[in-house]
Amino acid sequence: MQLTDASHQIVADLLAERTGQQLTQSRMWRVETALSAVYRECGISNIDQLVCLLDQQTERQLPGKVVEALLNNETYFYRDKPTFDQLPETVLPLLAQARERTRKLSIWCAGCSTGQEALSLAMLFADQAADWADWTIDILGTDVSGKAISAAQSGHYSQFEVQRGLSVSQMLRHFREEDGGWKIDEKTVANVSYRQHNILTEPPANTHFDLILCRNVLLYFDAGTRARAFDRLHRAVAADGFLMLGAGETVVGQTNVFSHAPGLASLYQPVARHEQKLREAGFAAAH
């Protein structure tokens, strides 16, 4: 193995250790570009020099900076809209019926990046305010990236970012122009909070979430890590709650703790513990 190959592996191992994400061969092409800002800050020009600095351990913040640079924070408002539209059309009405007595909903956006997904939900509730009058709606956005969470907490987005997924009327209704960009309205975001959190650790709240969105996060895990993530999500979701994955993700062949929600794309429901044990023992749930 050449030095550069070994250096790539060291960086990949660092990413996996800190986040659980795998730096597969299909993602290696973007490593040099992703790390370019770190190179400039350190006064170096390649990954071999970077690994030498990591080995010297003279800069305690360097490993964190490397990991942050390698994380993919791609997101936009109302991402995969046909899939997202299932929430107001089907999922939220079902949850509203099930929670009519308590009139409370808890939603977790796991891997929320810079906040567009959580804000898409917040705007949805704001636009349907009459339907959710006297309800307590809590939306928690978490991400392993501290940089992404700081951006989400700022509520400030560039012109390019607000144009991705939002109509002009939505922009004017929920944002105000400010400092060369757009700031989310405080009333719209009042029920949204953010926290840095690793999905592979304990769930971020003591409550059970009625809806969890974990989209395009599990793609970056290997099979064993993905199974751990599903277990954490299963522990965090309400028994009659829903899990939404990305369009390219599935539970099929990945876990026994979730099953497909009939008639809904990319939406899954938790399997009861007794049924899970049957499945793990090799029996069909129908038996």
The confidence band for 280, taking pLDDT boundaries of 50, 70 and 90, is: low
State the chain's maximal CA–CA distance in angstroms: 64
pLDDT of residue 3: 54
Q: What per-residue confidence (pLDDT) applies to 1?
A: 38
The answer to whether residue 275 scores a pLDDT higher than 80 is no
**E-only strand ranges, 203-246:** 209-214, 237-245
Cα(227)–Cα(219) distance, integer angstroms: 12
If pLDDT is split at 50, 70 and 90, which confidence band does 15 have?
very high
Percent of the chain scoring above 90 in pLDDT: 84
Contact 203, 234 (CB under 8 A): no
pLDDT of residue 273: 59
CATH second-level architecture of 81-279?
Answer: 3-Layer(aba) Sandwich (3.40)
Per-residue pLDDT for 276 more than 70? no
Structure tokens at 41: 């800050």
User: 166-225 pLDDT, tens per residue?
Assistant: 999 999 999 999 988 999 999 999 999 999 999 999 999 998 999 999 999 999 999 999
CATH 3.40.50.150 in the chain, residue ranges: 81-279
Measure the CA angle with vertex 200, ends 145 and 11; round to 5°. 55
- pLDDT tier at 274 (50, 70, 90 boundaries)? very low
